[in-house]
Structures are given as C-alpha cells and as structure tokens.
Structure 1
Amino acid sequence: MLNLVTDRVALCYIFYKLKFIIMKMYYFTDPMCSWCYGFSPAIKKLKEEYPNIDLEIISGGFSPYSTQVVDDEYKDFLLYHWKNVNARSGQYFNHSMKFISETFRYDSEPSSRALMVIKEISPKQDFEFLSLMQKAFYVDGNDITNDIVLAGLAEEIGIDKSDFLKLLRSDEMKLKTNQGFQFSRQLGVQGFPTLLTIENGAVKVITRGFLDLSSLKEVVDNWLNSLSVPQPGVGQSCSGDTCEC
C-alpha cells in the first residue's frame, strides 16, 4: 500500500514538473495557405496561453515555385475554398483579389523566404510578420510575391527596407527557405496547417488541418498530460480543413 501511495505521489510530481518544462513544437504553415489564415487566431492564442511550448514556425511550402496564373477558373476555385474557411473560422476574406495581374503567379516561395528573413533578423517577430502577410494578402489584396510589398510589411515591424531586401534576395535565404520545404517533406507533412513534435527521434503529429481554439486546446492538453499525440484523420487537397502540397 505504501508503494502505491509513493508511486502516485511520484507520478503527480512528474506531471507537476512537466508543466514547467519547455516542450518543442513545430508549426508547419504557409503565408498563402487559406486554412492557415483561418487557423491563425487559434495558433496565436495557443502561443499566448502555453508559454511552456516553444512553438517554431516552419514554412512548409504549399505552392513553392508555382507558375499557376489566377484566371477565371482558378479564381472561382480560390473563392470556393475561401468561403469554406470563412464559414469555419470567421476570418474575413476580400474577394476582389486585387493582387491578380498578368505577372502574378500563385508562388508561395517569396513569402516563405520573407518569413525566413524575419526569423533571421528578428525571430521574436515571426508570428507578427506572418499575420501581416496574411492580412496583406487575404484582406488588403496585396501581392505578397512582390519583393517591394514584402519589404513594406517588414518596415511596419521596424525593419529597414534595404537590409530586408538585401537578405531576401540572397542565395543564403533562398537555400534556407528550400531547406525548410525539404524538412517539411522529410517529416512527412502532407498538408497545412500541421503541428507536430519530435520525441526520441520519432515524429508525433499533434494535429493536421484547421481546428477552432477549444478543440486545439483539448488536443494540446491531452498531449501535455499524457505525452502521447493523437493521430488525426487524413484530409484532402485544399478541401475540408487543410491545404495539401
């Protein structure tokens, strides 16, 4: 009986200590993934309310190097999914899509590279910058594949435009951005948004696809309490609640 009591006390102490251990979690996203935009309020709250989780953004590459033009057919495709994201998340979308032009391509590499630059220059502002890009694209209709637009957003968080552009256009940042895409593939990330951890060398998926805040917190609480990660179902390409690459 004494051993049982002792074991229970020890177990409770372990869980108590775990509350103060910094747990590493990776957030795989993409600035031009609409479900990630819908997920952004929940992930922001997660970061605020769980300071013991070291949440690192990885731009996984939803559509890097894409040559997709936004013609009438593709615009209808986007509008269909944007309406679904709005219905689930409440996030506002500007359906005018002012970013459309003869030169615009749905290439998410430049905005992913811009996020990598912010992580290099001012890593504590990476979530803030990601939110700025999402707002610029989905709400203001700005072309976030454009270097000058991206530099203007960087300036909004206090970063010198010329410094930003120099790094954005460097081979080093292009390489690091591509490494982020490769890291995503190596870990088996198939859609965005995705939250996962690496425990004892094994990839543990926490959630894949859109969740509201209460559902997200339930999943994360279960993971923190049990140190095991529930495996979600598989979604479809840019339908349901996730954008697949």
Structure 2
Amino acid sequence: MKLVYAFDAYCGWSHGFSATLREVVSRHPELPVEVVSGGLFTGARRVPIRSFGYVAGANARIAELTGAEFGEPYERLIADGSFVMDSEAAARGLAALRAAAPDRAADLAVALQRAFYVDGLSLSEAATHRKVAEEAGLDGDAVAAAFEGPEARAAAEADFRRTASLGVEGFPTLLAVDGEDRVTALARGRADADDIDRRLAGLRTTCALTP
C-alpha cells in the first residue's frame, strides 16, 4: 500500500492541508508517498486572480480552520488582482523538485506552497524553484534548468492524467492505493491526522480480512 497525495500548488485548501500531510507522513514512514499535481488553473481558468472574487474570503476561512499562514508578501503579490495562477508551471516546478529528491516529494510540495502563500513568490518563475531547491539542500541550478525543460513539462501533463485516472475531483485529496484497482479516499479537503489514522486502521483491517 502507498499514499497518493493529489494537490494543486495554487490551491489554498491544499496549503491548509500541509500540516496534516506532514504529520501523516511522519506517523507512517512505512508508507511510500506519491505526490501528483492537479491542473486547477489551466486553460480558460488561467486568468488574473481578480477573476476569482472568493479568494480573500476563502483564505480567511482556511486560516481560521487550519491555522495556515498567508504572508504579507503573498498579500502584496495579489493585491492589484493582476497575478495569474498557472497550475501547469507549478506542476513543472514540483516535477523538477520531485526528480531531484523523489523520497522527499511531500515536504517539497509543502515548501512549494509556502513559497507562494507565505513568501509571495510566483511559481511560474525558475528563480522560485531554485530557491525552494536550495533551501531544501538540493542543486538549485539543476532544478531551475529542469523546470524549463521538456521532461518537467511531460511530467506535469502526466500528473494531470494521473489525478484524473484516480477519480480526483478536487484538491487536496489523499488516497490509499493498494495495487492497481484498490483506491480508497482518506481525505478530501480538510482533515486531521487522527481522522486519517482511523481510516487507515479501518482499511488495514478490511484488507486483512479480504481473501
């Protein structure tokens, strides 16, 4: 069995899930974690943030319910409403970071969201991914170059297909995947680590009883 975490780096609720994700990963070192990006803001939804009038209210609600931080640099970045959230670029960034340290994908996903929501850095800029990589002790120049390369673009598209194939309809979604055909949702949206532990325990009991 493994965990699959489907998120979008530009999704505020995914940012709010970061603490839960870290706690679950810490509690379950025996479970591999696959992290895949969603395409929340692609195509016709890749527009200035002012087009999404609910952002400020949603962020306040996320902070209230999860304790997630939304930094002043982020508030300045989006203040005039012209910033464009591009999930394809964010997914390329995750792909580049993930390739550099596959076993640290969950922490790198959290760091990527922190770069945007706390530090106010655009995930469309190679410099952002260089900074995230360097702060994680990785080769920043290599990650920045990979972000611009064809492999990251292909990986981002593969991630979007992967989330669709798993039936993910919103972010964040945490799944338990056992083999190719047993997929169980552990969390959709907000959840805490204790909730997820109970669902995992129930799943393991069920699996143990299944021939």
Q: Which amino acid aligns with 1:47?
A: V
Q: Which amino acid aligns with 1:45?
A: E
Deviation at 1:44, TM superposition (A): 0.7
Relative to structure 1, is the Cα distance of residues 172 and 25 closer, same or farther in structure 2, using a 3 angstrom cutoff? Answer: same
Relative to structure 1, is the Cα distance of residues 90 and 99 closer, same or farther in structure 2, using a 3 angstrom cutoff? Answer: same
Q: Is the 8 A contact 1:42 1:216 kept in 2?
A: no
Q: Is the 8 A contact 2:129 2:147 kept in 1?
A: no
Relative to structure 1, is the Cα distance of residues 67 and 88 closer, same or farther in structure 2, using a 3 angstrom cutoff? Answer: same
1:179 to 158, 165, 169: 158
Whole-Å Cα distance in 2 between the matches of residues 178 and 172 of structure 1? 10
Secondary structure of the corresponding residue to residue 49 of structure 2: coil
- Paired position in structure 2 for 1:15: none
Query: Structure 1: which 5+ residue stretches go unaligned?
Result: 1-22, 229-245
Q: Structure 1 or 2: larger helix share?
A: 2
Q: Is the 8 A contact 1:28 1:59 kept in 2?
A: yes
Deviation at 1:224, TM superposition (A): 2.0
- Paired position in structure 2 for 1:44: 22
- Paired position in structure 2 for 1:241: none
- Paired position in structure 2 for 1:13: none
Q: Single out whichever of 59-68 and 183-192 deviates more from structure 2.
A: 59-68
Q: Single out whichever of 42-51 and 89-98 deviates more from structure 2.
A: 89-98
Whole-Å Cα distance in 1 between the matches of residues 180 and 89 of structure 2? 33
Secondary structure of the corresponding residue to residue 154 of structure 2: helix
Q: Is the 8 A contact 2:174 2:187 kept in 1?
A: yes
1:206 to 169, 176, 186: 186
Q: TM-score, normalised by structure 1?
A: 0.75
Q: TM-score, normalised by structure 2?
A: 0.86
Q: Is the 8 A contact 2:15 2:68 kept in 1?
A: yes
Q: Which amino acid aligns with 1:193?
A: P
- Paired position in structure 1 for 2:55: 78
Q: Which amino acid aligns with 1:81?
A: A
Query: Who wins on radius of gyration, i.e. which is larger?
Result: 1
